[in-house]
Amino acid sequence: AQSVSQHNHHVILSEAASLELGCNYSYGGTVNLFWYVQYPGQHLQLLLKYFSGDPLVKGIKGFEAEFIKSKFSFNLRKPSVQWSDTAEYFCAVIAGSARQLTFGSGTQLTVLP
């Protein structure tokens, strides 16, 4: 079965620092990749997604992610974080013909003002 690994459980940054959150998945076939974000007290919401085409995808709020097939990775990046980016971030994959998401365990990002 497919799995998703997020190696950073808790990341603490100061405002304006650059962010990169790691995500690796295990599945050899076609994948659709997602990053979801959960702000304090709010629902999970989609940050960005990759289905096909350009492996560098841009999402909301200045976030981007790069799909590197050879590394089975889909890392999330932002050049300059803000205090309002404090949230939990989940990487997820839909593998093959499945329709359900398989999530990583999440990374809690804390941005200090």
Partner 1 sequence: GAGVSQTPSNKVTEKGKYVELRCDPISGHTALYWYRQSLGQGPEFLIYFQGTGAADDSGLPNDRFFAVRPEGSVSTLKIQRTERGDSAVYLCASSQGSGGTPNEQFFGPGTRLTVL
Closest CB to partner 1 among residues 74, 106:
106
Closest CB to partner 1 among residues 34, 81:
34
Closest CB to partner 1 among residues 87, 92:
92
Of 13-21, 56-64, 65-73, 86-94, the window that binds partner 1 (rule: CB under 8 A) is 86-94
Q: Tell the smallest beta-carbon distance from residue 14 to partner 1 (Å).
A: 25
How is the chain classified by DSSP, letter by letter?
--EEE---SEEEEETT--EEE--EEE-SS-EEEEEEEE-TTS-EEEEEEE-SS-SEEE-GGG-EEEEEGGGTEEEEEESS--GGG-EEEEEEEEETT--S-EE---EEEEEE-
In degrees and rounded to multiples of 5, residue 52 shows phi and psi of: -165, 175
Of 12-20, 60-68, 69-77, 88-96, the window that binds partner 1 (rule: CB under 8 A) is 88-96
Q: Work out which of 87, 90, 109, 111 binds partner 1, going by CB under 8 A.
A: 90
* Pairing mode of beta strands 10-14, 107-112: parallel
Contact residues toward partner 1 (CB under 8 A) are: 4, 6, 32, 36, 43-46, 49, 51, 90, 92, 94, 98-106
